[in-house]
Structures are given as C-alpha cells and as structure tokens.
Amino acid sequence: MNELIKSAAALLESNAVQVVIGYGKGSASRTRAIFVTNVTDCEKLIFDSRCVQNLAVYLTKQEIKKLGKPAIVAPIPVLRSILQLAVENQITENDLVILGITPESELINFETFASIETFLATHRIAIDEKYQEIISKIKNMPVAERFAYWVKELEPCFKCYACRAACPLCYCTRCTVEDNQPQWISVAAHPLGNLEWHIMRAMHLAGRCTDCEACYNACPMAIPINLLTKSMLQDVAENFGSYGPSLDKENTLSSFKPDDKESFIR
Amino acid sequence: MYAPKVKGKLTLFDEVNAFGEIAEDYIVTSNSAKEIVFPRAEKLFSYHKSKEKAEITDAANNTFPDVILWGTRPCDAAAFIPLTDIFNSDLKDIIFNKRKDKVLVLSFSCSRSDDYCFCTSVNSGPGNIAGSDVLFTKLTTGDFLAEVITEKGKSLVDENKDLFEVKSEESKESNLAVVASRFNQEEIQAKLKDLFENPVWDDKSRACLGCGSCSYVCPVCSCFDIQDEAHGNKGIRLRCWDSCGYGLFTLHTSGHNPRNTQGGRWRQRILHKFLYMPNKSKVAGCVGCGRCSRSCPADINILDTLTSL
Amino acid sequence: MSNQNIYIPYLMRIEKITREAPGVKTFRLKFENEEEAEAFSFKAGQFGEYSIMGVGESTFCIASSPTRKGYIECTFRQAGKVTSALSLAEEGDVVGFRGPYGNTFPIDEWKGKNLVFIAGGIALPPMRCVIWNCLDLRENFKDITIVYGAKSVNDLVYKDELAEWRSRPDVKLVTTVDPGGETPDWKGEIGFVPSVLEKTAPSAENTIAIVCGPPIMIKFTFPVLEKLGFTEENIFTTLENRMKCGFGKCGRCNVGEVFVCKDGPVFSYQQLKLLPAEY
C-alpha cells in the first residue's frame, strides 16, 4: 500500500510520531506486527487479507510506549478496539495517530475518536450465520450436555494465556488469575482450572469485547473461544441494546449508578 | 497409546483407540509429547489435616499407565534427554521417572521438513535415534527400516518377530528429509556470553505478547509452579506448567522483579537454552522442532534471533 | 533417599513463637517423627520450604545453628499469602518443612580468621545461623564483629540475642538504626549500615566479611568493604531470589548458569560478580 508507506514516512520524518505500528512480512506466509522507527524501514509496511492480528494490543504495552508517540495501522477490528480503549480512558486523542484502513483499502487518518465512531456506525459488528447456528445449537442443549461440551472443547487448553495476551482489552497489569489472596482462579490447567479461567475471562469481557477474534487466532490449540465472545455479544445486544463501543453511551455492564434498580448492588 | 491425531486444522498428540485415528501427514504436531512424562497438572501428594495433625498420602505410590508413544519425530524423542536430566540432576523426581519408565517411544523419521525446522543446526536431525526405543524410517519400497535402539525396543521386536526381518544395509539417509543448516551452534554458544547487554533482545521481542505458548508447546521446556488446592480440611499439592515468559515469573513478594522487561525474558529463554544448559548440564536446550515459532501468536520466530547473532 | 518423593515435606510442630518485630515472627519447630529428627542434619547457610497445607510454601533460611540439636528455627516477615497464613499459626500447630537445600557457608575455611558479619533488617535471620554456629565454636576464630541495623529500634530482630551478644566480651556488636528511627533512650549508632560499617572500620587483614541485606544495602556495602581492603574471595553473601522447588528444577531462581537454590544461596563476591544482574 503505497499511500500507507508514504503517510508513515511523512509522520516519522516530521517527528509527529516516533514509531509506526503496522504489519510486515512474517514467517512462511504469515504477517507480523512491526515497529518502524525510521523512514527507510517504512518500505516494510504491508497490508493485505493476511493481516488479522489486532495491533491495538500494543498501545498499552510499556515496552512500546517507551518508543514514543505511535501511529497505528488500523483496519476495522483495530479501530473498534481503539474506540473501546478510548471509552475506557486508556488512550486519548493526543496519544496516537490513527492510520485507518477501510475494507476497500482506503487510507483514512482519523483525527478524533468521534470520527471513528461515526465511521464504524456504517460497519457494525455482525455475527456470521454459521456461528449463529452453532451458538444456537449449544444454547439449546440441556445444561448437562452443554457443560460436557465445554469441558471437552477446553480439554486441550494448557492455560498459556495467549488469548489474554493477544486481546487489546486485557490490559490489566495484574490479571485476576495472578491474584493469590485469595487465589480466585486455579493456576493449573485441569478441567476445573480451564473452566474457571474461560468463564472468568468471558465475564470480564462481556459488554467490552468487539469480536476481533484475536483470542481465537492466538490460541495454539485452536480452541473455539470465539464462540464465547460471539455468544456474549449476542446476549449483551439482546439484553442491553448495545452492540459495540460508544463514546456517549455508558459501558454496558461496567457502569454503575447509586440508584440502580438492582438491589444486590447496594 | 498416544499418537498424532487430526483435530480441525491442527495435528495434536492425543490418546488414540484405533489405528485409523492416527494422522500420517504432519511435519510436527502442534503440541509436544512431553505431557506423557510431565503432565500439565501432576498431583504430588494429598493431605488431610486438622489443627494438630496432618496426614499425607504420597502420589508417587499411585500406578502410572503403560504408554505407547507412537509417531514422535526424532526431535520430540531427543527432547526426552534434557527433560530426564532436569528431573534427575541431584535430587530425583520419582514421579517423573515412574512415568518415563512406562513409556515406549516409537518414532518416525522425517521424510519432509519446512522452513520452521532446524534440527540439523542443534546436533539433531531427521533421522536422529536419541531418545527413541525404536526409530522407523519409511523406505521407497513401502516397508519401514526399524532401528532398535534400546532393550525396551528389542523386547517389542522380540514379541512381534513375524513383523520384522533382519536386513543389512538399507539406505536410511536417502529416505530422510534434507534439512538445511541455519546456524552454527558452537559459534552461537561462544558469542552469547558477551551479548547480555546487546539491543538484539529488545529488538527481536518487541512484538512479544508475553504469553506462555512457546514454553508450553516446547518439548524441552519444563519450568513449573507448585500450587496447593484445598477443599476444607483436605487437599492436594500439585506441580503445574509455568513459563519464564510471564512478567510475574520472577517477581519477589517485596515487589522487586529482576526480569521486568519482555526483552530480558526473551534473552533468558535464548541464553538458558543455548548457553546455560549446554555449558552447565551438557545437554541441549533446544531440539530444533520449531514449534515455538509455529505457535507464536505474534509470529516471533526463534530463527530470526539465532541467525541475527 | 532415592525412592522418596522429594516434594513431600517433613511434618513439624510449632514449639515456640517469638514476636521479633512488627510483622516478624520466629518459629521454633520440632519434627513430629522421632526418626526423622534423629536422621536430620544441616549446615549453616541452608534453607527450606516451609508450608501450611492448602495454602502453599515459602522460602526461608534455617535461622538456628546446626550446633543446637533437636529443633530448627525460621524467622519471617508477613508479606504475602503463605507468610500471612503462617502468621496466624499458633504454638502446637503443624506446618510442613522441606529441606535442607542449598550450599553452605565455608566455615571450616574461616578457622583462625577474624569475622565481620554485616546485616540489615530482616536479613539478620540468614546470618543468625552462621553467627551462632561460629560463636558455639568460638575458639576457632579470632575477632568477631557484628554490624547490624534496621529502619527503627522496633524493627530490630532478635532483641534478646542482641543483648546477649552485646554482653559478651568476645564479640564486638555495633547496632544502628536509620536516621529518624531512634528512640530517646537509644544508645547505639544512628545511620545506614554501609556508613556505620565504614565508621567501625574493621581491619581487612586475615578477615572474612559476611554480608546480608536488601539489594540497596548490599549495593552500598560492597564498595565500603573494598575501600577497607577486603578482597573479593573474602566477602560472602547469601542471595535471595524467587523460589519454588528449592532444588534446581522449576527454573524460577535461575540466574546465568546457576540456580540460586542449588548453587547458592551462599556466594562469594567473586562468584557474584560473574552473574548477570538478574537477581
């Protein structure tokens, strides 16, 4: 993408940013995240359908923040994560330059988070029919069967936490699994430990997840945890009406008012 | 029996119940076979306590299953050597040894490899016999050359004499994959001791997300945690997998963390495998299977680092 | 021993609990099993993994001297999950102990020499073992000097033993507290351990220095010792690092080619200098 390379080079040249977070050539036929800090290396920036890793995960990493102000190559999944990070006050507009890429491979420099939200309003999260079918099928299982289904699906999990590491919204410097007073989540990767982890992660992401599938793509055992994220999205949409991050609406499930009608919260 | 089994788009080591379940077309499995001797969660003992008393039931007294490990590649089998060394140096981990004693390793040489493989750069190769009880190499005739390496392997052959025929001079080499050498291990080992402060560690690990994927799919990695799990007055103490790649691996309770950057942790991984282990224990820290690079969600490729040194 | 499960702890009964300082306790532990008590021995410098079943294990040195049979002691500060559970234990309770692990202070090589022990705060426990070991074999050594400091008077541990050491004519004890940590009746020094060490100026001639303290104290103590003329082979320290198994398998305490649990925790300054700065 020549335009992308030109924009990146210009930004580095003028020192408007000190690093460009983008995609570059990886192993075999893969792509990987690259961190370009000089104009010559901008040549290495590429963009095509293989670029599925969610780069927004690097915006909250201390090693990357040390490099300076970033520009970030942002296809739609990355844009959604950027908006959610903004809603959660993890980034401000001055912290980064956004090199948005539309599905038609157009480059848009989003200067405000509001402009991202406007753009995303015409590119809403949609759950593919084939996933909707699988999710319905699971939801229609009686509880015992559904439990057995998940115990079996999670059996290959060895709790490497690649799902957590790849997720842009898992930015807690100390994750709940790392609390040991008390040890909420068993450390070991046995059936109970696996269930505890995935249930907890699903609950912590409900209302925040934007269905980028970074977790599923990261899993070395190809466990279909994207079924959990998509199912959550559906549930949140059905019960709370929201379907994606929004700067003026409150964050579903993590907003609190003292006069909440639920009594257990008082 | 544990053998490679197709699961969706992956091939994984898993329990098989019928020959037809065994995958044939794989370079290496996504997970390693180390689980057979070093499970993800291993009970060490169970206890029953009251305020003034505690009773301990030793898990080493349990019976461990006889296992046939079928379809390991030479790299997988070679990894049992450093694993056995770690669990037996000075003090001996008898649970590990009991499991290992019950495993029969029946490996298959590689007739093909890919760009992730680098066994020939780490003193191994597509026909390496180290760590196997029997190594099979498929020949152009459709038969298999069976190299019987251990006593255990010999007893298998003796019990199935009708399946084996003593032949001389079968050409093994011509049926093996050609795996190009990617780096000189001795040179790297010599260079590494002077590279502690080098920026290569930060440079090559910038994209690292700090998960434990590489350690967990690696057939040699054996770092572990010890955890107690209690249910009222009863409970167990177990040993479970851990990774030096995690930020909190070396964190002291005081808050001091000797390795608090991802670059430092990447450096530890490479130095431990390619300098400390060969120097100190005289065993390989890496068998060149490439699983770490294959599984890495951020596509950190260990060869990028090793060839840039 | 070779057919024993190395992860199984000895069961120990807490015979005595002493409150040393805010948050700091000493346990005196006796083996539940007589045979195990008879067969057990250790050397100064070694440590163990102490546990509460169901909670976990924590690493402390064995703080009592091997010259005193029939019990072992450990001193710890309440800091995390396991030490908090241990802090709630009472005399008569049963705890677990795995050990002894690690290498030892080469006391035999110190015969006929002067000894200077330098410790700060909660780092006196690892030294207490070797101090008592040497005092119990007093005739083997020449002058013995102890320099010990803590943040405040209240934070000094082993207060009774400090009094005992002070009263002995064959020991020179210098105690200090950080500026601001003194009480009106404090008669000792006021200042950080490295500067008090410099003021005490023990002779380096035929002398071994043994240092233990928080990283910041060690950082400033080594230069003082070098200034006083101590050579690298004559300075010893005992290192702390995050540990789990205690016997060199779990990987956590690996620094360079050593495991602090197995190749340490006792290192000479000469050996320490060869390690990468990852501890």
CA-based diameter of chain A, in Å? Answer: 61
Residue C208: phi and psi, rounded to 5, are -105, 135
Two tokens, residue C129: 């073992």
Contact B297 A64 (CB under 8 A): no
Interface check B250 vs A, CB under 8 A: no
pLDDT of A46 higher than 80:
yes
Helix or strand holding residue C131 (H, E): helix C124-136
What value, to the nearest 5°, has the Cα angle with vertex B40 and ends A158 and A216? Answer: 5
Interface check C168 vs B, CB under 8 A: no
Coil/strand/helix, residue A10: helix
What DSSP letter does each residue of A205-253 carry, written as one string? HTTT-----HHHHH-TT---THHHHHHHHHHHHHHH---S--SSSPPTT
Sign, Cα dihedral of A3, A5, A10, A11: positive
Tell which wins on pLDDT, B217 or A266: B217
Question: Looking at CA atoms only, how far is residue C254 from chain B in angstroms?
Answer: 9
Amino acid at B156: L
Distance between CA atoms of residues C255 and C266, nearest Å: 14
Residue where the block lists tokens 């091997």: C66
Instruction: Give Cβ neighbours of residue A264 (< 8 Å, ≥ 6 apart).
Output: none
- Closest C-chain CA to B222: C250
- Residue A260, pLDDT score: 79
pLDDT of A253 higher than 90:
no
Q: Predicted ipTM?
A: 0.94
Distances (CA, A) of C46 to C20, C63, C213, C263: 21, 9, 16, 11
Residue B83: phi and psi, rounded to 5, are -60, -45
Instruction: Give Cβ neighbours of residue B69 (< 8 Å, ≥ 6 apart).
Output: B1, B2, B3, B33, B36, B103, B104, B105, B106
Report B:245-284 residues touching C (Cβ under 8 A): 249-254, 256, 258-259, 264, 268, 272, 275-276, 279-280
Contact A189 B262 (CB under 8 A): no
Two tokens, residue A56: 């927004």
- Residue C177, pLDDT score: 96
- Between helix B80-88 and helix B94-101 the angle, nearest 10°, is 150
- Residue A259, pLDDT score: 82
Number of compact structural domains in chain B: 1
Strand partners, C147: C118, C174
Q: Which of C102, C54, C69 is nearest to C258 (CA)?
A: C102
C136 within 8 A of C68, measured Cβ to Cβ: yes
In chain A, at which residue ranges do the beta strands (DSSP E only) sit? 19-25, 31-36, 70-75, 97-101, 107-110
**pLDDT < 50 stretches in chain B:** none
Q: Which of A175, A38, A16 is nearest to A99 (CA)?
A: A16
Q: How confident is the model at residue A243 (pLDDT cuts 50, 70, 90)?
A: confident
Contact A63 B206 (CB under 8 A): yes
Residues of B in contact with A218 (CB under 8 A): 209, 211, 213, 297
Interface check C257 vs B, CB under 8 A: yes
Count of H-run helices and E-run strands, chain A: 10, 5
Distance between CA atoms of residues B263 and B208, nearest Å: 9
How are beta strands B144-148 and B134-138 bridged, if at all?
antiparallel
Amino acid at B174: S
- Closest C-chain CA to A181: C81
Interface check B255 vs A, CB under 8 A: no
How are beta strands C189-190 and C172-177 bridged, if at all?
parallel
- Residue C101, pLDDT score: 97
Distance between CA atoms of residues B146 and B154, nearest Å: 11
- Residue C186, pLDDT score: 93
Distances (CA, A) of A111 to A35, A54, A108, A116, B96: 21, 20, 9, 8, 58
Query: Across residues A246-258, what is the average pLDDT?
Result: 80
Question: Looking at CA atoms only, how far is residue B238 from chain A in angstroms?
Answer: 8
pLDDT of C1 higher than 60:
no
What DSSP letter does each residue of B151-182 carry, written as one string? HHHHHHHHHTGGG----S----GGGS------
Report C:28-87 residues touching B (Cβ under 8 A): 51, 53-57, 79-80, 83
* Segment A77-116, tens digit of pLDDT: 999 999 999 999 999 999 999 999 999 999 999 999 999 9
Question: Looking at CA atoms only, how far is residue C259 from chain B in angstroms?
Answer: 11
Residues of A in contact with B295 (CB under 8 A): 220
Question: Looking at CA atoms only, how far is residue C87 from chain A in angstroms?
Answer: 14
Interface check C79 vs A, CB under 8 A: no
Peptide bond into B199 cis (omega under 30): no
Residues of A in contact with C244 (CB under 8 A): none
Helix or strand holding residue B58 (H, E): strand B54-58
* Segment A63-80, tens digit of pLDDT: 999 999 999 999 999 999
In B73-223, at which residue ranges do the beta strands (DSSP E only) sit? 103-108, 134-138, 144-148
Across the interface, which of B52, B228, B252 has its CB nearest the CB of C94? B52
Residue where the block lists tokens 């040497």: C134
Two tokens, residue A37: 């800090």
Structural domain of residue B163, as residue ranges?
Answer: 2-308
Residue where the block lists tokens 């509001």: A114
pLDDT of A128 higher than 50:
yes
* Segment A137-147, tens digit of pLDDT: 999 999 999 99
pLDDT of A120 higher than 70:
yes
Contact A180 C81 (CB under 8 A): yes
Contact B254 C51 (CB under 8 A): no
- Closest B-chain CA to C90: B51
Distance between CA atoms of residues C13 and C96, nearest Å: 9
Report B:74-93 residues touching C (Cβ under 8 A): 86-87, 89-93
- Closest C-chain CA to B226: C244
The domains found in chain C, sorted by start residue, are 10-101 (2.40.30.10), 107-238 (3.40.50.80)
The number of beta carbons lying within 10 Å of the beta carbon of residue C104 is: 18
> Best residue in B91, B95, B198, B218 to probe C by mutation, most C CBs within 10 Å?
B91
C253 within 8 A of C243, measured Cβ to Cβ: yes
- Closest A-chain CA to B224: A188
